[in-house]
Structures are given as C-alpha cells and as structure tokens.
C-alpha cells in the first residue's frame, strides 16, 4: 500500500487568510434587518455599553468561504472510517437530520403549553418506553444533555435514595479501567471514588470487590462490556455483592452498542442506566457535542427522576408533571437536548427490534474480524478475553522492539488515509490501541485499515522515521501542545 496521504488537506490560499478577524474590513457586514417601524427606545445612558465589541466585519461570501474552507480541514464519519474505541462513531442517518429540522420540532418554544406540543411529548413518551425496553428499566428521563450529566443524574438519584433510607453512604466503587467522567462525577455528586482493580483477565476482580463493599458503599458504576471491550461474565455475582450490602448498580451505557437485544442491564441486576444516544443511536457527535444522556431506573427509583416527567392523562393526552416531591430536581434549563432525542427516536423507528439486534451482531462481527486481522502486530491486551463490539490491543511489543509508540502508529495511519483509533486509553493498558469499527463499515474498509496498520508496523522496523515524523500530508503536522499550555493564546 502506498502512502495515499491524509484524508483532509490544507485548503484555500496558502497565505493571507488566517482567522475570521484577518478578513475583517471596516464597514463590511452580512446582516440585514427590517426597517424599525416603531419609535426608538434607547436604554438609559448609565446602562449602555461604552464601546462596541470588536467583532469581525465581513460579507456573506467571506463567511461562506471561510467556514467552508475550515470544514474541508476537518474529518467526520462522512469523510471516512472513524474507528475511535469507546466512541461508537457509526454512520449518522441523513433522514434523522431531515426530520429533526421539521418546523414542528425545530420551531417549538420549550415553554409552550402542553396542549400545543402534544406531538413532541408523544415522541418523548415513546422514546422513553423504547429505551426502557432496550435496557430493562421501568422509567427514564430524557433530560441529561450528555453522558456525563447522565452520570450526575444517576448518582444524585443514588444519593437521594440512600438519604431517604436514613443513611448517607459516602463511597462509590468504580473499576480502575473506568472512563474519567466516572470518578469526576462521583466526586461532584459528593461521594468518594473507590477503585476496584481488574483481574488478570481484564474483568472486575470479584474477590477484591467483595472486600471493598460495605454499608458505606452507595453503589457501583460499571460498563458492560467493560472499557476493555470484555463482557463481565460474573455480573450476577457482582450485582449480588453490591445489593447484599444495600448498594445500587449503575450501568454506564458507553458500550450499549454491544448488547442490543442480546441482554439488558436491568436483567444483569443494574438499577440505574445511562444511554449515550450519540453512540448507540447514531445521533451525530457534532465535533464534540451535542449528545444526549437519557437515564433509566428501576421501579424503586422512579420517584427520584428529574422533573418534569412526561405523563399520560386519563383522556390520552400527555402533560409535563412538575409536582414530584421526591425528585432530585432539574439537571437542565429545559427538557434536555430535544433535537438529539428526535434523531434517536428516528433511529429506533428505522431499526425496530430485529434491526437493533442486528446492529450489535454486526458490530461484534466487525470488531472480532478486525482484531483477527491485526493481532500479529497488535495483540489483544488481554489475549484470553473475547472482544465484543470493540477491542483493546497493545503496541507494547512494537515499542520495545522498535521504539515506535502507539501515538506514532496513530499519526502514520493519518498519512495512510485513515483516522486513527483511540490510543492510550484505557489507562491500565500500556501503549493501548482501542479500536471500535462499528457495524456500519464494509469488510473492504476493515481489510484496508488492517493493511494500513500492518504496513505501519512493518515500517516501524524498517523506516521508523516515517512514523516518528508523521503526519506529513495534513494541514498542520504534529502540534506543540506544551507550548499551547504555556503560552495560552486562547483568543485572537
């Protein structure tokens, strides 16, 4: 395979165009307004702004070319394969974009009376029920705008549940391989994070867990399959240990794409579940967001769900219920990321029960197939484990033999035309290379990516500079992150 070059290149004039500010020319503007046909009503002098902010002064065509050029220096799922482990970068259906843009959804004010938003409430009601069926929960809230806020929601529910039982429990247990949001959320919810180690198989060390769990433990947070891509086979025993001490089980839905229609967090013994719609339900990631992080709970925790909930009246109409005395309250200014929720519901409608089950089957097939193709150069970090929808390999041996690190391989992949996988996560794996192909990729793409990875490994032995210096075909090459943090140029 020849180095075909990076999938995004430098665009536009090579010099003379930097930021939007550089295009600014006094007196130019793109905006226009209706003539003011009512009397002017200036605000009092002492409350007026002294000097107008120095925003760029540009024309419409300046804006269009500038942002078009920038978009061309960006890589998305629509550009190509995006195998970021733990991120589930699958295809984002175009029809979901179209329906989210219908005026009947996009042009709704969040504080319209219930009678004027029955369709929106019906959609929320139906998606809540679908998510509950998929996860085995009793009720759910769609309010959290992202997974991390879902975690806060779940932990605050945990806190309220224990407080009602008259015992403040200060600790929450998380695996040492957990995503960083877990420990951060635990502390912000007022708990102490207690790590439980992984055993040599890459699974929760169940005897260590048993030793950690006592009446001070509010609950356990876990993904399953876990952050190493492996199914926690002793999940029933884990749930039993936590429940026996009066704790609750929290399921982090980061890896839900692995198990749709195969098993459900509720059946595994979890009490609280968050779902990342921007992973499993294909809502676009937006260059970092928006996402949505609905949270489902078992019956006993329903009174604590955030307010308002969507309820159905006897006459069949829907309303927002605000009188919920045991609720943890409000986690978002309005109803969460409704526009994202519309897209997630579109995805559920399109797939149905069989389609969702097939999603997980083919996600697992793609991950296992790709792992097999690259295992010689990038062996699984836990070779006895069986990956599900993603796999964690290691470049440890490659680094020992050649001095080439996982980061260098990642950067070389860019010159070979691919977005790299996640590297250096989970933190418990040395030189981690975490690959999640998702179900929407063809076998030909997986073959080509495997070939690129193997080529990079071969080059590490023969021409390591190709990797150390990569990428060379991108709009910019490796950037000086230390300098960015030291000099802190955070605006123009």
Partner 1 sequence: MRFAPHTDDDVRQMLSRIGRGSLDELFDQIPADVRLNRPLDLPAGVSEMQMVAEMRLLAARNRDVDEIVCFAGAGAYDHYVPSLVWQLAGRSEFYTAYTPYQPELSQGVLQVLFEYQSMICELTGLDVSNASLYDGATALVEAVNMARPAGEGRVLVSSGVDPRYVETLRAFGRGGGYEPEVFTSGEVPPIDDGVVAVVAQFPDRFGVLEPVRDLFGAARQGGARAIQVFDPLSLGVLASPAELGAEIAVAEGQCLGNHLSFGGPYLGILAARMEDVRKMPGRIAGETVDVDGRAGYVLTLQAREQHIRREKANSNICTNQSLMAIAAAIYLGWLGPAGLEELGRQCAARAAYAAERLCEVPGVELLVGGRPFFKEFALRLPRPAAEVRDALLDHGILAGVPLEDADGHALLVAVTERRSREEIDGYAIALAEVLS
Binding residues among 224-253 for partner 1 as defined by CB under 8 A: 230-231, 233, 235-236
Both structure tokens of 439: 């179900």
Residue 480 engages partner 1 in binding (rule: CB under 8 A) = yes
Kindly state the smallest distance separating residue 446's Cβ from partner 1, in Å: 8
Site for partner 1 in 81-100 (CB under 8 A): 82, 84, 87, 89-93, 95, 97-100
Task: Name which position in 167, 240, 443, 461 contacts partner 1 (CB under 8 A).
Answer: 443
Identity of the residue, 322 or 461, whose beta carbon is nearer to partner 1 in the bound complex: 322
Site for partner 1 in 163-192 (CB under 8 A): 179-181, 183-190, 192
Both structure tokens of 113: 């009376």
Task: Give the CA dihedral 375, 378, 381, 383, nearest 10 degrees.
Answer: 20
Residue 37 engages partner 1 in binding (rule: CB under 8 A) = yes
Tell me if 127 sits within 8 A of 142, measured CB to CB.
yes
Identity of the residue, 57 or 199, whose beta carbon is nearer to partner 1 in the bound complex: 57
Gap between the Cα atoms of 17 and 79, Å rounded:
24
Secondary element (H or E) of residue 135: helix 118-135
Residue 479 engages partner 1 in binding (rule: CB under 8 A) = yes
Task: Name which position in 220, 298, 344, 414 contacts partner 1 (CB under 8 A).
Answer: 414
Q: Which strand ranges, in their side-by-side order, compose the sheet holding 422-423?
A: 391-394, 432-435, 422-423
Tell me if 381 sits within 8 A of 202, measured CB to CB.
yes
Site for partner 1 in 120-139 (CB under 8 A): 120, 122-123, 130, 133-134
Nearest to 154 by CA among 351, 296, 333, 341: 296
Site for partner 1 in 10-29 (CB under 8 A): 18-21, 28-29
Both structure tokens of 154: 């779940």
Binding mask 40-69 for partner 1 (x = CB under 8 A): xxxxx--xxxx-xxxxxxx-x--xx-xxx-
Identity of the residue, 210 or 349, whose beta carbon is nearer to partner 1 in the bound complex: 349
Task: Name which position in 137, 152, 298, 452 contacts partner 1 (CB under 8 A).
Answer: 152
Cβ atoms within 10 Å of 64's Cβ, excluding its own: 11
Identity of the residue, 108 or 208, whose beta carbon is nearer to partner 1 in the bound complex: 108
Identity of the residue, 79 or 461, whose beta carbon is nearer to partner 1 in the bound complex: 79
Q: φ, ψ for residue 129 (rounded to 5)?
A: -65, -40
HSE at residue 78, side-chain half, CA atoms within 13 A, is 10
Please work out the total of residues on this chain that contact partner 1, with binding judged by CB under 8 A.
203
In sign, the C-alpha dihedral spanning 34, 37, 42, 43 is negative
Kindly state the smallest distance separating residue 337's Cβ from partner 1, in Å: 4
């Amino acid at each position: 395979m020849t180095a075909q070059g990076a999938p995004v290149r430098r665009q536009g004039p090579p010099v003379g165009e930097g930021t939007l500010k550089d295009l600014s020319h006094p007196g130019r503007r793109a905006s226009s307004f209706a003539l003011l046909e009512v009397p002017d009503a200036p605000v009092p002098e002492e409350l007026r702004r002294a000097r107008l902010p120095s925003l760029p002064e540009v024309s419409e065509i300046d804006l269009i070319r500038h942002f078009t050029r920038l978009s061309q220096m960006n890589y998305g799922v629509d550009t190509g394969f995006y195998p970021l482990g733990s991120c589930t970068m699958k295809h984002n259906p175009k029809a979901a974009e179209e329906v989210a843009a219908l005026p009947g959804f996009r042009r709704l004010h969040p504080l319209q009376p219930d009678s004027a938003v029955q369709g929106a409430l019906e959609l929320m009601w139906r998606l809540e029920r679908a998510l509950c069926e998929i996860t085995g929960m009793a009720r759910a809230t769609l309010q959290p705008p992202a997974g991390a806020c879902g975690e806060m929601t779940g932990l605050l529910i945990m806190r309220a549940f224990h407080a009602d039982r008259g015992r403040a429990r200060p600790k929450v247990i998380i695996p040492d391989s957990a995503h960083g949001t877990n420990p951060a959320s635990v502390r912000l919810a007022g708990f102490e994070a207690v790590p439980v180690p992984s055993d040599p198989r890459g699974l929760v060390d169940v005897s260590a867990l048993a030793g950690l769990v006592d009446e001070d433990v509010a609950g356990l947070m876990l993904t399953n399959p876990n952050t190493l891509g492996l199914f926690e086979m002793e999940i029933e025993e884990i749930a039993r240990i936590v429940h026996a001490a009066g704790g609750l089980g929290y399921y982090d839905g980061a890896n839900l794409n692995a198990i749709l229609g195969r098993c459900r967090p509720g059946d595994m013994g979890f009490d609280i579940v968050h779902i990342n719609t921007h992973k499993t339900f294909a809502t676009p990631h937006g260059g970092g967001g928006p996402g949505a992080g609905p949270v489902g709970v078992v019956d006993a925790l329903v009174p604590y769900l955030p307010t308002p909930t969507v309820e159905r009246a006897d006459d069949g109409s829907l309303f927002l219920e605000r009188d919920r005395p045991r609720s943890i309250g409000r986690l978002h200014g309005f109803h969460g990321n409704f526009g994202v929720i519309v897209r997630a519901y579109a995805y559920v409608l399109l797939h149905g029960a069989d389609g969702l089950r097939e999603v997980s089957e083919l996600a697992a097939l793609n991950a296992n197939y790709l792992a097999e193709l690259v295992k010689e150069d990038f062996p699984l970090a836990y070779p006895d484990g069986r990956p599900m929808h993603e796999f964690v390999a290691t470049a440890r041996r490659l680094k020992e033999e050649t001095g080439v690190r996982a980061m260098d391989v990642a950067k070389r992949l860019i010159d070979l035309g691919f977005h790299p996988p996640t590297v250096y996560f989970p933190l418990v794996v040395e030189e981690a290379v975490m690959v999640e192909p998702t179900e929407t990729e063809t076998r030909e793409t997986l073959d080509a990516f495997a070939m690129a990875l193997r080529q990079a490994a071969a080059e590490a032995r023969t021409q390591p500079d190709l990797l150390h210096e990569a990428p060379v075909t991108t709009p910019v090459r490796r950037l000086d992150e230390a300098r960015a943090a030291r000099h802190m140029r955070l605006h123009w």
